[in-house]
A and B are shown apart, each in its own frame.
Chain A
């Protein structure tokens, strides 16, 4: 089945700097790609989604890139601010499969923004 490896597990970044989190997946049928943000004591909040038909998506303060050739999904935090401190998870889902919509999660990255 699908496996998702997320790196790095911990990331410290100075306020105003940029940072990158990368997930590598294995299933070539993967179609839906997500980034979730988890703040302390809270559940996962959907940050951004990318479908296989698109390869880039931009939000406020971050960019998501999908490299289907290398089976990599990245989250680029641009101009980090203290509110970005959280655990970030990538998640991948195939378009078809025995369990429709089953998400496979990466291990998570603890991001700490230093003022």
Chain B
């Protein structure tokens, strides 16, 4: 069953706290992505990972970092969360030679108070 999973699905944090969002995929995809979705803005790419320990910044990397120690897992970390990082975060994955075909997880709704 091809699937991208995200944990947790909902998270409430206070400003200044650390946040860890986790993503997993069972399709042996080399490439994984983190996006955030805000009303009226579509999806914006935060980071892209081409494989284990091979990560690149997307369009809006400031305030975020990522970790990919296993091909099937990709983590998004917010060190000292800010209120403007309240958003819905989506993870996606794809094959390296079909990066235009991405499969999305169900999303994590993060609220930073």
Do A and B pair up? The answer is yes
- A residues sitting closer than 8 Å to B (CB atoms) are 4, 6, 9, 32, 34, 36, 41-46, 49, 89, 91, 93, 99-103, 105-108
Whether A108 pairs with B42 at a CB distance below 8 angstroms is: yes
Question: What number of residue pairs across chains A and B have CB atoms under 8 A from each other?
Answer: 58
Does B4 contact A6, Cβ atoms closer than 8 Å?
A: no
6 new A-B contacts at CB < 8 Å, known A99-B48, A105-B42: A32-B100, A43-B106, A100-B99, A102-B58, A103-B100, A108-B42
Interface string of B89-109 (1 = CB under 8 A from A): 010101000111111111100
- Chain B residues lying within 8 Å of A100, measured Cβ to Cβ, are 99
| CA gap between A36 and B94 in the complex, in Å | 15
Once the chains bind, are B101 and A49 in contact (CB under 8 Å)? yes
Contact B105 A102 (CB under 8 A): no
